[in-house]
């Protein structure tokens, strides 16, 4: 990523010979712009569908004979109002936020220390610990949730937010540590050497020298960890029972769907509002997000 070459002025991938660009435009449109348009349409349509459904009055929702389902006449906010004032939705939003923020901070703190120890202190066996961390990253939550439920129950934290705050770092720490190890590796040894000469302790080197230089890495890891915790489902579904402790994904699915009457309007509004925080965060930090996603893959 760092050694990204500048884009060539003439796309070499093109087949056009010489300056004959205009005659190739139709071909380019057919092979590039058309597929791109189809991709973008398919990838974004569910969001449009969510948005349009969440502002549709109930009467239009299932009346395809008189109204086109793709558009809305007289949009209404009744579903959103219902969601915010007549369900526990605001509480779920708060729970999700609290759990995601706490889990992210715990995971970041533990990962910074661990990554620094593995990458820079290089204690005996650091390489193997690094490998173990990577393997831990590959352990999927869907084979861990049953024993974890058992353990959470034994610890007496079943049905509390603490259960989620303590278990989410299990998938956040391996990821963040792995990512931060890469960032720490890129910081020159000489800087630490200088600090050591000046008599700084390991802790001072970490907080005063390494961390300020690793801020982009911290942001990347933090953003990614936050979205992962926000999106987490299976632990929240398993460890939480009472309605007021639920997170948004679990709450929307288990509490807004009652019997056979699907209130699609409020369901879609719930899905949309629950996605907004991560989408907003993502839109501010696209590059960091992409860097963390591809960074984890590239190592």
Partner 1 sequence: MKANAPSLVASFGQARNGPGLLFMLPAAAFLLCFLAYPLGVGTWLGFTDTRIGRAGVFIGLENYQSLWNDSVFWLSVFNTILYTVAASALKFALGLWLALILNENLPLKSFFRAIVLLPWVVPTVLSAIAFWWIYDSQFSVISWVLMRLGLIDAPINFLGDATNARASVIAANVWRGIPFVAISLLAGLQTIPPSLQEAASLDGATSWQRFRHVTLPMLSPIIAVVMTFSVLFTFTDFQLIYVLTKGGPVNATHLMATLSFQRGIPGGQLGEGAAIAVAMTPFLLAAILFSFFGLQRRRWQQGGAD
83-102 positions binding partner 1, by CB under 8 A: none
Among positions 113, 187, 211, 213, the unique one binding partner 1 when judged by CB under 8 A: 113
- Shortest gap between Cβ of 25 and partner 1 (angstroms)? 13
Using DSSP's 3-state secondary structure scheme, residue 128 falls into: helix
The torsion angles phi and psi of 262, rounded to 5 degrees, stand at -90, 120
* β-strands 257-258, 261-262 pairing: antiparallel
Among positions 27, 30, 46, 81, the unique one binding partner 1 when judged by CB under 8 A: 46
Q: Residue 214 and residue 290: Cα distance in Å, rounded?
A: 17
- Shortest gap between Cβ of 85 and partner 1 (angstroms)? 20
Nearest to 70 by CA among 52, 91, 44: 52
Among positions 41, 49, 71, 128, the unique one binding partner 1 when judged by CB under 8 A: 49
Among positions 25, 59, 128, 185, the unique one binding partner 1 when judged by CB under 8 A: 185
- Shortest gap between Cβ of 153 and partner 1 (angstroms)? 9
Among positions 95, 111, 220, 245, the unique one binding partner 1 when judged by CB under 8 A: 111
CB atoms within 10 A of CB 287: 12
Q: Is 19 in the site for partner 1 (CB under 8 A)?
A: no
Residue 278: how many CA atoms within 13 Å on its side-chain side? Answer: 20
Positions in 135-174 near partner 1 (CB under 8 A) = 136, 138-151, 166-167, 169-170, 173-174
- Shortest gap between Cβ of 192 and partner 1 (angstroms)? 7
Q: Is 199 in the site for partner 1 (CB under 8 A)?
A: no
Q: Is 4 in the site for partner 1 (CB under 8 A)?
A: yes
Q: Is 197 in the site for partner 1 (CB under 8 A)?
A: yes
Give me 75's structure tokens.
Answer: 């949009």
Nearer to partner 1, 197 or 261 (CB): 197
Residue 18 falls in which region: left (phi positive, over 0), alpha (psi -120 to 50) or beta? left
Q: Residue 28 and residue 26: Cα distance in Å, rounded?
A: 5
> In which element (H, E) is residue 217 found?
helix 215-231
Q: Residue 110 and residue 266: Cα distance in Å, rounded?
A: 39
The torsion angles phi and psi of 181, rounded to 5 degrees, stand at -55, -40
Please choose, out of 18-26, 48-56, 84-92, 214-222, the segment that lies near partner 1 by the rule CB under 8 A: 48-56
Positions in 200-259 near partner 1 (CB under 8 A) = 202, 227, 230-231, 233-234, 237-238, 248-250, 252-253
Among positions 25, 29, 30, 32, the unique one binding partner 1 when judged by CB under 8 A: 32
CB atoms within 10 A of CB 39: 10
Please choose, out of 28-36, 74-82, 85-93, 212-220, the segment that lies near partner 1 by the rule CB under 8 A: 28-36
């Amino acid at each position: 990523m760092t050694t990204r070459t500048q884009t060539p002025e003439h796309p070499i991938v093109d087949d056009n010979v010489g300056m004959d660009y205009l005659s190739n435009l139709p071909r380019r449109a057919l092979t590039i712009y058309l597929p791109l348009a189809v991709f973008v349409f398919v990838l974004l349509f569910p969001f449009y569908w969510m948005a349009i459904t969440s502002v549709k009055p109930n009467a239009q929702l299932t009346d395809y004979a008189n109204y086109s389902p793709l558009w809305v006449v007289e949009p209404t906010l009744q579903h959103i109002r219902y969601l915010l004032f007549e369900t526990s939705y605001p509480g779920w939003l708060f729970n999700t936020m609290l759990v995601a923020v706490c889990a992210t901070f715990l995971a970041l703190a533990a990962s910074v220390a661990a990554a620094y120890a593995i990458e820079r202190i290089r204690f005996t066996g650091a390489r193997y610990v690094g490998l173990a961390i990577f393997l831990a990253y590959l352990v999927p939550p869907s084979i861990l949730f049953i024993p974890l439920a058992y353990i959470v129950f034994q610890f007496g934290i079943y049905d509390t937010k603490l259960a989620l705050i303590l278990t989410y770092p299990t998938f956040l720490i391996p990821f963040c540590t792995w990512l931060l190890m890469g960032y720490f590796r890129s910081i020159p040894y000489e800087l630490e050497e200088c600090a050591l000469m000046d008599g700084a302790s390991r802790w001072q080197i970490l907080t005063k020298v390494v961390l300020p230089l690793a801020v982009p890495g911290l942001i990347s890891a933090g953003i990614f960890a936050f979205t992962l915790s926000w999106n987490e489902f299976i632990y929240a579904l398993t460890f939480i029972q009472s309605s007021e402790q639920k997170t948004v994904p679990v709450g929307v699915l288990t509490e807004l769907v009652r019997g056979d009457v699907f209130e699609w309007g409020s369901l879609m509004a719930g899905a949309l509002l629950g996605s907004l925080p991560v989408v907003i965060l993502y839109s501010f930090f696209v590059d960091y997000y992409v860097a963390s996603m591809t960074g984890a893959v590239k190592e």
